[in-house]
Amino acid sequence: MNNTIDPRTKLFLVLCISTIGLISRDVLILFSITIVGIIISKIFGGNFFVLIKRIKKLLYVFFFIIIIQSIFTRQGNPVIVIGGFEIVTDLGLNRALGYMFRVLIIIISGVIISTSSERNTIQGIVQLGLPYEFAFMTAVGIKFLPLLIEEFKDTYMAIQLRGINIMKLPIWERFKITSYIFIPVVASTLNKAKKLSISVESRAFRAYDRRTSITSLKLKYKDYLIILISLTTAFALIYLKWI
């Protein structure tokens, strides 16, 4: 099914999913969208769980933010009270879960888009009427994502090879040391961006105002059906919940 669905349909689907994810405050709706998103990504040939496994280390940072968010939200009814202190409230828990599902929805959106080939994604964005430069940069971003994940893993490993047992550090130090991963990754990303820009310029990128393309995408019956279903569901949810 993966190769037969137009990348524009996938982009539209992602737009609907992420819009609901962004405006919804209801944890149940966010949870449902996450589950539906995982199923859709699987149908399209993506593997959400493989990606989650690969970015496992990065997820610790998200969980840390979730914990902090639930602890520092003071409004609402107490859920966990220790020694008279309200540690977690229902509102805090709600916000933290909402944050977690939103992060998962972003990851799922990436998985859905990445099930199309880089060339087709660019073509899809161009045929949507967006400038080629924008389409090209989006595709490059998607392409570099696995490399970025690899860099995160390598740096995490390099820290341990300095003789530091991260798991034995106190929890605060553990999160602090994780922040060091970003420096080599940012440095390498900047380097890659610099090299890429030199490389595309040397191949006469944007030499002419208009570009021609050998491939042309055409929306099929099932594409229209998917767009219709996602649009109807998104509108129905917005109407029932907020209007």
Residues engaged in binding other proteins (CB under 8 A): 151, 154-155, 157-166, 169, 173, 177, 180-181, 183-184, 187-188, 190-191
- Are the beta carbons of 6 and 220 closer than 8 angstroms? yes
- Note the Cα 165 to chain centre separation in Å: 30
Looking at residue 44, its amino acid is: F
Q: Which is nearer to other proteins, 94 or 189 (CB)?
A: 189
> C-beta of 107: minimal distance to other proteins in Å?
24
* Token reading at 72: 């520092």
Q: Which is nearer to other proteins, 42 or 192 (CB)?
A: 192
Q: Which residue from 74, 83, 68, 88 is spatially nearest to 172, judged by alpha carbons?
A: 68
Please give the DSSP secondary-structure letter assigned to residue 165. -
> C-beta of 53: minimal distance to other proteins in Å?
15
> C-beta of 174: minimal distance to other proteins in Å?
10
Q: Which is nearer to other proteins, 99 or 156 (CB)?
A: 156
Q: Which residue has the tokens 């998917």?
A: 226
Q: Which residue from 242, 217, 205 is spatially nearest to 23, judged by alpha carbons?
A: 242
Q: Which residue has the tokens 């209801």?
A: 26
Q: Which is nearer to other proteins, 161 or 204 (CB)?
A: 161
> C-beta of 181: minimal distance to other proteins in Å?
7
> C-beta of 199: minimal distance to other proteins in Å?
18
SS3 (DSSP) at 215: coil
Q: Which is nearer to other proteins, 129 or 163 (CB)?
A: 163
> C-beta of 138: minimal distance to other proteins in Å?
26
CA distance 241 to 60: 32
SS3 (DSSP) at 119: helix
